[in-house]
Chains A and B, each alone.
Chain A
Amino acid sequence: MTETLTPPNSPMISMTQVNKWFGTFHVLRDINLRVTEGEKIVICGPSGSGKSTLIRCINQLEHHQEGDIEIEGKPISPDATDMEVIRRDVGMVFQQFNLFPHMSVLENCTLAPQWVRGIGQAEAEKRARHFLERVRIPDQADKFPGQLSGGQQQRVAIARALCMQPRIMLFDEPTSALDPEMIKEVLDVMVELANDGMTMICVTHEMGFAREVADRIIFMDEGQIVEENTPTEFFENPANERTRLFLSQIFQH
């Protein structure tokens, strides 16, 4: 089934038989996943099913114990310098934004390009303003994160990640901590990013977003990938009974 879904060009991310334990708790079980350049993957599943852990293994915020992960053909290991190189090319957006509260919005965006990529301050600021423009908050550049709404903060977090000019973007429930009226402004930015051809993996339960941008939807339960399917098939004709049950729970209201 997955063979027909995966385009033939070489994968950006490839996970092969990945297993992970927290102590004795087997949190990821035999994960196999290939993501090619420009693909948008949505991961959903019940709370505690290992979605966050899976995407955090991709940039090694969590270390897996078994199996192989390759980013752009390079195998990754928990070696510190290796990890830092990979993280430059993999941007991440968190549920809780995790902006740096002691720095202005602009400084949040220029910090890593300056200190990790080594580009000059003027260039970093130019880039930061460009991406703040793209997430539609150019006028908030000099404020502190604590002075912004949740939706604005999350858009700054997206701009901050984009300033590193990553090849892959990971989103871990980016709208789950937001008030309903702010979800759309963040999703709009993500849709635009998807349309620009960014390779994206999004953990989200925004099914409208999934239907609109996802090339594939992955459903996880108890540390396993239960189903991997196109959006149309996933919603109209899920292959797995467990998926059906999950969808009926989400769409109950």
Chain B
Amino acid sequence: MSEWQAIPERVAPANTIGAVGWLRSNLFGSWRDAALTLIALYLIYNLLEVAIGWGFINATFSGSDRAACLKETQGACWAFIDAKFGQFIYGRYLEAERWRVDLVMAALVLGLVPLLIPRAPFKRVNVLLMILVFPPFAFFLLVGGWFGLAEVPTADWGGLLVTLVVAITGIALSLPLGILLALGRRSDMPIVQSLCVGFIEIFRGVPLITVLFMASVMLPLFLPDGVNFDKLLRCLIGVTLFSAAYMAEVVRGGLQAIARGQYEAAAALGLGFWKTTALITMPQALKIVIPGIVNTFIGLFKDTTLVLIIGLFDLLGIIQFNFTDATWATPETHITGYVFAAAMFWVFCFAMSRYSIFMENRLATGHETRNAK
């Protein structure tokens, strides 16, 4: 028998590593890949040329009325956005009181950012502040009528303010409600189970517009005369219940994916139902369905535009409303407004998407098949 010889380590072939290797394997692997790469590059170039021409080179950035935007070449009328910016953000919220909205937004950012950074300290205090202190703080400050603050009726709220109030409330409430509904649907108790199934199927089976319309038009009919609660509040309830139904099914999907062995191991250690749920199964289920949860959040964020149907002016609604302003009637106003609205929505939704991918990768513990990208 010949003696065993160790083979010395060798460097990988030069054209399979580094930048050249990357280009070869990803973009120019074969003649077909190379052709597709070139076609794609050509298309991207054309798109960029049009976008930059319209959005920057031929665009109007300042001006006090439509005259500034009436030009030979087509270009965005950013002056329109500039002139209406206050309305787009605050709606008809009294100008002298807008600092209150700014303060609430600042508090939100200040409270949320450290919460979203896993390494930031004082998580427990931070969570408690955001759950217990922030909501009443925001409520009293935005609504007013206390401590000498002028009351700003919610009917005057509008723009991004309404979009964010509806979206954030919906997001913050639909997740816990959805979790409870999902647990209820999986429960062994027949009454709890049927109530949850009924709730989920009813809210998931009707369009959001119907829910909003009912919340705004039908609900008051059932309430005694004189009892009239706020339109925005009714809308918040409608949106929350609607997304909770979707959320419940997303969460249930995660729970279904948890192996029976996890429940058994927890039970064998003496953990009861609630501890098993809170410590073992729900954290794993939620981690699995992060993409689905964020998908629902993003859907909800964009669905806030439907509040227009019951007479609330969210960001998109108020932009559209301003199209009717004769001072700014130009061929470019509509498209500029829509592009602006799209960009604003996209920024928020894309941020949620990136954050969810960051969390997915951070929570990975070595048994996932692939990194999230």
Contacts and interface: CB of A to CB of B under 8 A. Distances in A.
Interface of A: 59, 61, 80, 83-85, 87-88, 90-92, 94, 96, 98-102, 111-112, 115-116, 144-147, 157, 160-161, 164
Nearest to A160: B269
A145 B266 CA distance: 16
A98 B279 contact: no
Interface in B337-373: 363, 365-367
B272 interface: yes
A59 B268 CA distance: 7
Interface of B: 259, 261-262, 264-272, 275, 279-280, 283-284, 287, 363, 365-367
A176 to B, nearest CB: 14
Given A61-B267, A101-B284, 8 more contacts: A61-B268, A92-B265, A96-B259, A98-B259, A100-B280, A112-B270, A116-B269, A146-B367
A206 B268 CA distance: 24
Q: Which 6 A-B pairs have the closest CB atoms?
A: A146-B366, A146-B367, A98-B265, A98-B261, A112-B269, A144-B365
Interface centre among A80, A87, A102, A111 (most CB of B within 10 A): A102
B265 A100 contact: yes
Contacts of B265: 92, 94, 98-100, 157
A88 B270 CA distance: 5
Nearest to A86: B270
A186 B150 CA distance: 72
Given A98-B261, A98-B262, A146-B365, A84 B272 contact: yes
Contact of B264 (A83, A84, A88, A94): A94
A145 B284 CA distance: 14
Contacts of A145: 365-367
Contacts of B262: 98, 100
A94 B270 CA distance: 15
Contacts of A96: 259, 261
B287 A87 contact: no
B264 A98 contact: yes
A112 B279 CA distance: 10
Contacts of B272: 80, 84
A137 B268 CA distance: 23
A102 B283 contact: yes
A110 B265 CA distance: 14
28 contacts: A59-B268, A61-B268, A83-B267, A84-B270, A87-B267, A87-B268, A87-B270, A88-B270, A90-B268, A91-B268, A92-B268, A94-B261, A94-B268, A98-B261, A98-B264, A100-B265, A101-B365, A101-B367, A102-B283, A111-B271, A112-B270, A116-B271, A145-B366, A145-B367, A147-B365, A147-B366, A157-B265, A164-B270
